[in-house]
Amino acid sequence: MSATELRRPEGACAVVTGASRGIGAAIALALAVDGWPVAVNYRADASGAAATVAAIEAAGGRAISAQADVADPQSPPQLLDAVHEQLGPIGVLVNNAGVRADGLALSLSDDDWQRVLDTNLGGTYRLTRAVLREMIRARFGRVINIASVIGPRANAGQANYAASKAAVIAFTKTAAVEVARRGVTINAVAPGLIETDMTEDIPPVLSDRVPAQRAGTPAEVAAAVSFLASERASYITATTIYVDGGLSA
């Protein structure tokens, strides 16, 4: 397959899950600036999703909001049908939606374990499965899964979250090699300590463990996703890019 066959299809769009705020919102805006029409997925924060859409439109881009709970096995058809109808074929999928339910492994409830796995891993798997056929037909596709430095690095009190994110990295590698011949790349981005709502309750002293001596920003994560979604990243697949200020070293 020649490099010219890997150009993104005309009219293709991007889907970003969990894009009503934080990292997801930054990714949606970055992709829109790159010229992708963007579907801003959200579970419950309709006003946040509307704000993300407004920011994209203010920057000259095109976007819609699309409600769906990625933890629900029935969500992929619901979400993707709405995207196809309003924006067109899907060229980029960013599996960003994620939740935390922290607690020591010996005291985690089954509900807290399952909710985190169903959202962080189950949603990633189901949506990836749902878009791969059309990407293969188009001979172009970019799936970017948002993992975490916590996947390969122990962090007490987050056994469920760490398990889900480590599994996302493993799933990324395996799925990527299965479709690599078809012009589809699947990669992961693993943020470290990033300034978002999900990390606002983490003690500031933890930033001292980061070699860069600061927390990262959602825009810095979005920059890595933007590159992986581009035609320039056509020979990068089955890998994980760490955006963590050196924390994983």
- Beta-strand ranges (E) seen in the chain are 13-16, 38-42, 63-67, 90-95, 141-146, 184-191, 240-243
* Domains of the chain, start order: 13-243 (3.40.50.720)
pLDDT at 202: 65
pTM comes to 0.94
Q: What is the largest CA-CA distance in the chain?
A: 53
Candidate list 42, 125, 161, 242, residue with the active-site label: 161
Spatial distance between the Cα atoms of 224 and 241, rounded to a whole number of angstroms: 8
Cβ(72)–Cβ(45) under 8 Å?
no
Q: Is residue 161 annotated as part of the catalytic site, yes or no?
A: yes
Nearest in space to 170 (alpha carbons), one of 136, 145, 193, 194: 145
32: CB partners within 8 A, 6+ apart: 38, 56, 59, 61, 62, 63
Q: Give 203-232 pLDDT, tens digit per residue.
A: 665 677 899 999 999 999 999 999 999 999
Q: Give 125-181 pLDDT, tens digit per residue.
A: 999 999 999 999 999 999 999 999 999 888 899 999 999 999 999 999 999 999 999
Task: Give Cα 34 to chain centroid, integer Å.
Answer: 17
